[in-house]
Amino acid sequence: MKIKTLLTRAKKCKSDADASLLLESIENHFNGTVLGGLRIANSESYMEDGNAFVQFEMNHVISDDYITMIKPVVRDKKFSLYIVTNRMLDGMGMHSRKWETVDGSELDWSYDDNDDIQSIEDLAEFAKKNALCNHRNLIESVGVNSEAAMVAAEYSW
């Protein structure tokens, strides 16, 4: 699905039910990409100041101590994607109530008509590459060389 098409559909939303259908469509499209199979959590959809607001998280659980979150967001007629790796301070994984962002792991991307990324599929590939780099950096931080760290990160997906 083209991101421009997704935004056109978002502009046509008139009700919370429309926003909910948009959310379902976006989740389904991401599920059909290289990110398929990730845990989906914290899905939200509603109308906000006359515009659709839609967001959800796709989480890659590295361990009970580290989780990478990929969060697509439609808000104010714009599409963005947020990627971050968090350290779970209580070691409870997805059930954690206390976490901190791993330094250097945040990426906030916004759609632009002139961007190389024009489809959900392209965006999913971009997100996975960035998430893998975050994971590789974690592994490198304990003394593993870059090549071996990337192999280990890719294996976990």
Q: What is the pLDDT of residues 58-116, one digit of tens each?
A: 999 999 999 999 999 999 999 999 999 999 999 999 999 999 999 999 999 999 988 89
pLDDT of residue 76: 95
pLDDT of residue 100: 97
The percent of residues above 90 in pLDDT, for the chain, comes to: 97
pLDDT of residue 127: 97
Provide the 8-state DSSP code for 118: -
Quickly count: other Cβ atoms within 10 Å of residue 99's Cβ: 17
pLDDT of 51 > 90? The answer is yes
Q: How far apart are CA 24 and CA 14, in angstroms?
A: 16
- What backbone phi and psi angles, to 5 degrees, belong to 62? -75, -45
pLDDT of residue 29: 95
Q: Are 58 and 107 in contact (CB under 8 A)?
A: no
pLDDT of 126 > 90? The answer is yes
pLDDT of 35 > 90? The answer is yes
pLDDT of residue 13: 98
Q: Exposure string (b/e) for 9-31, b if CB count within 10 Å is 16 or more?
A: bbeebeeeebbbbbbeebbebbe
pLDDT of residue 157: 86
